[in-house]
Homo-oligomer: A and B are copies of this chain.
């Protein structure tokens, strides 16, 4: 947990925006004011503002000021955002979770798996299939692949709790970057066996490759979500299309 100055400023401004101490469309105090308020350099203030911009909280306007463009939204579904474990997601979404481990095996990467997952052929893996419950209803089916070269001593018991908690807590692993692809796919027999799709014949599918702080991929996961309980949020900022 960084106790960096820019991060405390970032968190403080974020809270002031979320609690509407700064109203929607309001101009925030200028960088000059914030420097005095927080007693730091301009670079530090600007770094905090840059992160808020990337989050879609504010819009800096050259020569005019920084405007709050944050609008709270009611969260009806299960919302997916940054990198976080299922357990963290459920807490953020204020749900009660349960996990059932359907499969727990050890395999070795072949050419077919290499193409799909990004692991080198020959890499030993854990393959885990898990069913996720929200408020008692089965909604998500996960297929996890973890590299045994990075993740060791995984057990079905750990898989039934939180693997991320184990990785970060017990193993001291630092999770850094996750590349995700989102698609919509037909249901499979396995999906139908465990999840009541109420008429849908497809699911929301997130596939992700996750890297640790050494730049080593340790996970490939396909996460299949019930459409009614799936929502993915994102903020994009326009890159000047180099004319």
List A residues at the B interface (Cβ < 8 Å): 1-2, 11, 25, 53-54, 56, 58-59, 61-62, 64, 67-69, 71, 77, 81-84, 88, 118, 174-186, 199-204, 211, 213-215, 217, 227, 230-243
Q: List 11 A-B contacts (CB under 8 A).
A: A61-B214, A68-B215, A71-B118, A82-B237, A178-B235, A180-B234, A181-B232, A183-B204, A184-B203, A201-B202, A234-B234
Q: How far is the CA of A238 from the CA of B224 in the complex (A)?
A: 21
With A83-B237, A201-B199 known as contacts, the answer to whether A211 contacts B69 (CB < 8 A) is yes
Copies of this subunit: 2
Chain B residues near A211 (CB-CB < 8 A): 59, 69
A120 to chain B, nearest CB (A): 10
Find A183's partner among B62, B88, B178, B231 (CB 8 Å cutoff).
B231
Q: How far is the CA of A241 from the CA of B165 in the complex (A)?
A: 11
| A67 to chain B: closest residue by CB | B215
A188 to chain B, nearest CB (A): 14
With A185-B227, A201-B201, A202-B184 known as contacts, the answer to whether A242 contacts B1 (CB < 8 A) is yes
Q: How far is the CA of A84 from the CA of B237 in the complex (A)?
A: 10
Chain B residues near A237 (CB-CB < 8 A): 82-83, 176-178
